[in-house]
Amino acid sequence: MGNDFMPYGLLADVILVVHAAYVLFVVGGQLLILIGWIAAWTWTRHFIFRIAHLAAIGFVIIEVWTGLACPLTVLENALRERADQSVYEISFIGYWLQRLLFYDAPGWVFTLMYTAFGALVLLTFIAYPPRRRRG
């Protein structure tokens, strides 16, 4: 192995973990926000957390509405190709939902799901708004 060696498969796996963490932040974050609303947790109203959460799902919504491919999926696929590994033929979420839940649906179903989830996040943001610290 010379200086040209690059563990593309390992880098693709790192991107996969980052992608999964992003999804967990969006979905798990919303779940925690709703629980925090009920349980009166103050940290679930933290301004930076809530703005980051809203921006994260907003980015996904922009992707699906404009037909842009997810940059993490594109990067992971490029790295897997360089490592001579198989790549996704559908979106990251679609792939894992299909693998985990045996769920097969046209792309518009995922667009509708992402949009509905984004609407839930926005409604929660409005009904249970973040608070800036004072003092």
Predicted confidence (pLDDT) per residue in 12-29, tens digit: 888 888 888 999 999 999
* CA 61 – CA 56 distance, rounded (Å): 9
Give residue 4's pLDDT.
53
Domain presence at residue 19: yes
Q: What is the mean pLDDT of residues 67-74?
A: 91
The string of pLDDT tens digits covering residues 88-100 is 665 666 666 556 6
Domain presence at residue 54: no
Structure tokens at 107: 């792309």
Domain presence at residue 135: no
Strand (E) positions, the chain? none
Structurally, how many domains does the chain consist of?
A: 1
Domain presence at residue 14: yes
* CA 35 – CA 44 distance, rounded (Å): 9
SS (H, E, C) 30-42: HHHHHHHHHHCCC
Closest CA to 72 of 5, 114, 11, 113: 11
Using the predicted structure, report yes or no on whether residue 2 has a pLDDT greater than 60. Answer: no
Domain presence at residue 86: yes
User: Residue 67, SS3?
Assistant: coil
Domain presence at residue 13: yes
Give the domain extent around 109: 8-47+74-127
Domain presence at residue 69: no
Rg (the chain; Cα; Å): 18
User: Residue 113, SS3?
Assistant: helix
* CA 69 – CA 48 distance, rounded (Å): 27
Would you mind telling me the total number of residues written for the chain in this entry?
135
Domain presence at residue 56: no
C-beta separation of 80 from 87 below 8 A: yes
